[in-house]
Structure 1
């Protein structure tokens, strides 16, 4: 069976959930070979093996942390060359950095690329990816017809499944290109932790929009999110008004999310916002305008004032948990 390269997203050896989802998808089309780069790469092996990686290729050069993107492209290109005859595909999570890595890699190796896939399956002529196109108005199935398929996959598109494998650790030899040192990281500022899950990886997202009517009212949205163990999102209108940080914006110009449950409070449902959340498995909207476009795509809708509905919902959830 052909091997499938999986780019490992980790922080000092702690593997992030989207990578484990990629291993599930990789097993559908071949044998997963994980590629872990940077500090702590070797520490990822045990978890990756538990979730199906037959091999773990590691490289811990300082270039991966000191410079942007290109060193990781060099490493993935080396990983492609290390698989004989060639990998069935290269899978990466659909983060901003990983999509840039994927695009550069595809150009390097002369291959086609598919981004933001929400499913992946084996096909007679290669892996077939499912995507949501035109703000999720259409579902498409496509495959790469030239070279090694390079595919980025949205978080929460597949379950995390344990499937113990050998996970043999091998050192990946990487020759860095002249472009690798072109953009240097000169400083880092730790992001303040809220204790909530990462927005793009969360199983539940609670978002607020223009109807929240001010930064001082976002605590209502946060309280509901905390009762559910959810991440907090915001519409572009709320972000542009300065009510919530841009890092929490959901939409075409913000982050794309695909949680099991998405709750939209005070969000009208403009196409820009829908593009970033319409692939959510279950969508609930709370809006006092019964004609709001958001109600066209929801599974459950509540026509009512969020200042009355959301606190009652939070209290009910808290009571049931108690």
Structure 2
């Protein structure tokens, strides 16, 4: 089929109360690779109110063009308002490819756009590439419980669309000298046509501290932690590192940690500088969420645990003997340099 009228790779920059989420910038890095492979422009789409900072950051993270839609009706996300604005942009400019973060809002928005444009949508992608001959985007995602990876093509329709897990990729380097073209579109919507209204925001107690997907240091516990009480020692290690605590699905299913702390295929994808896996066997579902970490340290009493196959450093032994020694050494080192 002839898709010559469809141009450019679009990345949705999700914002909350005007401030951009990291996932949009992570996708600009991947979007650049796709755009270069397709020989097209990389475009950011920013919808909201008081979004000057989001537009500036989208420029710094490498967008060639930035489509901006502003108004009071976009102060809080709604699929009615955001979907209407995004669809009008698509109808006017005909994007070739659209990348959206696989967040709660992104999954809803992506579905609405795909259905309206009668095109396909690949959900929860963890890898992206371009077929050299066909110029189709190859969307890769875990399938069958994470036991294999599926590669999905959207060969018959445009735009090609996919949602991508937050944390699946690292943000590109900032370039403050980038000079993106800013395209402001006056797309308004009567607030009476917005069926869902935001009454208030109530912050969860689980949101305090460093967010799992934004942490540079993560200490995760699995079945080997034995009970919820033992996670205190992981919290102590995370505190001295300046990081946060995660968990495997087994620990979450046992009720030892909240689901918001789960790392893996059915949890969050993270890419910290250091990931310490404590008492985690290393099932493929867990590896799908943390294998891209810069450095992986595994602590497990079972020398044949699969986690050691992906670990950069492995410690075979009792978690409850090893971790206190690590905490002691870190504190000692901090005292020397303070």
CA RMSD of aligned residues (A): 3.2
Superposed displacement of residue 138, structure 1: 4.2
Give, in whole Å, the separation in 1 of the partners of 2:318 and 2:250: 18
Residue 52 (1) aligns with residue 38 (2): no
Per-residue CA deviations over 1:96-121 (Å, capped at 9, x if unaligned) read 32123222221211222233333434
1:103 counterpart SS class: helix
**Residue 151 of structure 1 is aligned with which of 156, 162, 167?**
162
Residue 225 (1) aligns with residue 234 (2): no
Give, in whole Å, the separation in 2 of the partners of 1:158 and 1:127: 23
For residues 247 and 260 of structure 1, do their structure 2 counterparts lie closer, same or farther at Cα, with a shift above 3 Å needed? same
1:184 counterpart SS class: coil
1:38–1:65 CA contact under 8 A, matched in 2: yes
1:216 counterpart SS class: helix
1:289 counterpart SS class: coil
* Unmatched 5+ stretches in structure 1: none
1:114 counterpart SS class: strand
**Residue 102 of structure 1 is aligned with which of 110, 116, 138?**
110
Give, in whole Å, the separation in 1 of the partners of 2:333 and 2:292: 28
TM-score normalised according to structure 2 size = 0.79
For residues 104 and 283 of structure 1, do their structure 2 counterparts lie closer, same or farther at Cα, with a shift above 3 Å needed? farther
Q: Which residue of 2 aligns with 1:5?
A: 10
TM-score normalised according to structure 1 size = 0.82
1:67–1:184 CA contact under 8 A, matched in 2: no
Give, in whole Å, the separation in 2 of the partners of 1:127 and 1:179: 40
* Unmatched 5+ stretches in structure 2: 1-5
Give, in whole Å, the separation in 1 of the partners of 2:225 and 2:316: 15
Q: Which residue of 2 aligns with 1:181?
A: 194
Per-residue CA deviations over 1:263-289 (Å, capped at 9, x if unaligned) read 211223345534443454543321223
1:102 counterpart SS class: helix
Superposed displacement of residue 318, structure 1: 4.3
Q: Which residue of 2 aligns with 1:216?
A: 229
For residues 180 and 248 of structure 1, do their structure 2 counterparts lie closer, same or farther at Cα, with a shift above 3 Å needed? farther
Q: Which residue of 1 aligns with 2:20?
A: 15
1:88 counterpart SS class: strand
Matches within 5 A, 1:309-320: 309-320=322-333
2:197 counterpart SS class: coil
2:263–2:290 CA contact under 8 A, matched in 1: yes
Residue 264 (1) aligns with residue 277 (2): yes
1:35–1:57 CA contact under 8 A, matched in 2: yes
Per-residue CA deviations over 1:176-205 (Å, capped at 9, x if unaligned) read 599973443333202445432x22243443
Q: Which residue of 2 aligns with 1:195?
A: 209
State how many pairs are aligned: 319
Per-residue CA deviations over 1:57-103 (Å, capped at 9, x if unaligned) read 223344445564343222221221232xx212111123232123222
2:48–2:76 CA contact under 8 A, matched in 1: no
1:102–1:152 CA contact under 8 A, matched in 2: yes
